[in-house]
Amino acid sequence: MVSHITRRQGMANSYGSSKKKPIGGMILFGMVSFALYAVLLVKQDMVNEYIGLGGLYAFFPILIAFIISFVHGSFTGKFWTVLGIEASKRKKEVK
Amino acid sequence: MHDIVSAAANFIHLDVVNVLYLFAVGFVGGLVSGFIGSGGAFVLTPGMMSLGVPGLVAVASNMCHKFPKALVGSIKRAKYGQVDVKLGIVLGISAEAGVLYGAHIQEGIKKSFGDAGSNLYVSVAFVVILAVVGGFILRDAWKTYRSGNMHEEEEKVTKLARWVQSVNIPGTMVYFKSLNAKVSVLFTIPLGFATGMLAATIAVGGFIGVPSMIYVLGAPSLMASATELVIAFVMGLGGSFKYALHGLVDIRLAMIILAGSLFGIQLGAIGTTYVKPFMIKVVMGIIMVIVLFSRGLMVPVYMSQLGLIHTLGETTVKALKSTSFAIMALALLLGAFIVLRAMWQGRRAERAATQEVLEHGKI
């Protein structure tokens, strides 16, 4: 019981102290993500032309998808963290 | 060269309204996917087609947003210890074979019976599979609710899964951490294959993948829905590449949907840590049963186009189509609402518990 309460208190403290929020990272990834989307939409005619060729150019959309998923995914993850929406601290692991 | 020109001409003009629409649908689809492992595609593909995107480009672009979304979602859920990567890859590879075979069957039906025949096949597959599997999941969720065990973290392994885990076929046994048991790949291959075939037919393989992992293999619901994201990644990557070889991916559409869905999938994944495993079944079952009605409405339309029943008037067809799409959108929105509500309640309960402990601490 004691250990239970201690664990809970530890959890409560971690709420109270609130870890440093990744505001800088969010802004950085957000800006890069915005820039990537801007390039994609501004140069959409050229991008479409190459992707429409198919064949070896098939790697092109896959590569774009991986890059954007990394950058934009990092941004959205940090976005929710900054807003304070994080995973439950009680249940980190499913057994 | 003509093909290439016509393929490039398939890419529609995008305006601000279209972009916002795709972003919003992507967000809701992502939210549900992050939670139950799949979903969203059944609204996205017709949603894109309603903007004037040709069917094949819509399917290809949907797939190209799916694999990066699934990748981000599975990484997030792996952090919560919910992903069985090995099971995901094993099922994903056989699912890839199922996708190819499913697409081959689709082509055959299209050649023999035309677009209406192909649409009828898709709708009937939707109705039959969703009725059987969705009905089963909802029944199971209802039984759990009635028995009052819905707050339990541990789920009961079905008799079928216990039997599957007990069969020992030398040379084919693989240990999976989500099952905490060795299972013969001779069981996982047909399940993966069926998941892939369904993905090629109705775009949502998870409606077979997740229930089969839970009820046939014996995986916990949370792990099954998280592992489905790995399967979706493997299937989506292979499928996207196949479509990209023919120049059919509209990367702008795919990435705009991805922009919304990456917000959604992170939130859906976070949501799974606040709910009881039972909620995964509730959300999945409800969505499946509502979508079933949506596709069921379209069956008479395609039957009339094939001349199997008397011809329906243009107004009736339009009304059925709009109602069908509206019900499908409702299914997704309702799913998203349940996820957000469950998450909100979970967070509130956790805060209340924390507050209580703090107050006790002061005393």
Distance from CA of B22 to the nearest CA of A (A): 14
Q: What counts of helices (H) and strands (E) characterise chain B?
A: 13, 2
Closest CA to B200 of B138, B243, B145: B243
Model pLDDT, residue B205: 86
> B339 at the A interface (CB within 8 A)?
no
Task: Tell me the chain A residues in contact with residue B353 when contact means C-beta distances shorter than 8 Å.
Answer: 8
Please report which confidence band the pLDDT of residue B295 belongs to, taking 50, 70 and 90 as the band edges.
confident
> How many Cα atoms occupy the beta-carbon half-sphere of B165 within 13 Å?
21
Question: Does the pLDDT of residue B363 top 60, yes or no?
Answer: no
pLDDT for B116 equals 84
Tell me the per-residue pLDDT of B90-104, one tens digit each, with 9 for 90 and over. Answer: 999 999 999 889 888
Domain of B170 in residue numbering reads as: 2-362
Q: Return the SS3 of B174.
A: strand
Inter-chain residue contact A65 with B254, CB threshold 8 Å: yes
Q: What is the chain B residue with the closest CA to A42?
A: B252
8 Å CB contact between B37 and B206: yes
Residue A8 lies in a domain: no
Q: Is A32 inside a domain boundary?
A: yes
Please tell me the predicted confidence (pLDDT) of residue B114: 84
Judged against a pLDDT cut of 60, whether residue B225 lies above it is answered with: yes
Burial B98-128 (b: 16+ CB within 10 A, else e): bbeebbeebeebeeebeebbbbbbbbbbbbe
- Lowest-confidence pick of B146-160, B188-202, B340-354: B146-160
User: Is A89 inside a domain boundary?
Assistant: no
Q: Mean pLDDT, to the nearest integer, of B190-217? A: 92
Mean pLDDT of B112-117: 86
The answer to whether B72 and B166 have CB atoms below 8 angstroms apart is no
Instruction: Note the ipTM here.
Output: 0.87
A63-82 mean pLDDT: 97
Inter-chain touch A51–B251, beta carbons under 8 Å:
yes
A32: containing domain: 21-82
Per-residue buried b or exposed e for B308-327, using 16+ beta carbons within 10 Å of the residue's own CB: eeeebeeeebeebeeebbeb
- Closest approach of A19 to chain B, Cα-based (Å): 16
Residue with token string 């395609």: B302
Report pLDDT digits (tens) over B157-179: 999 999 999 999 999 999 999 99
Domain count, chain B: 1
Q: What total of structural domains would you count in chain A?
A: 1
Please give the helix or strand (H or E) that residue A47 lies within, else none: helix A44-52
Q: Is the pLDDT of residue B4 over 80?
A: no
Closest among B157, B207, B197, B196 to B179, alpha carbons compared: B157
Contact B350 A88 (CB under 8 A): yes
Over residues B23-47, the mean pLDDT reads 87
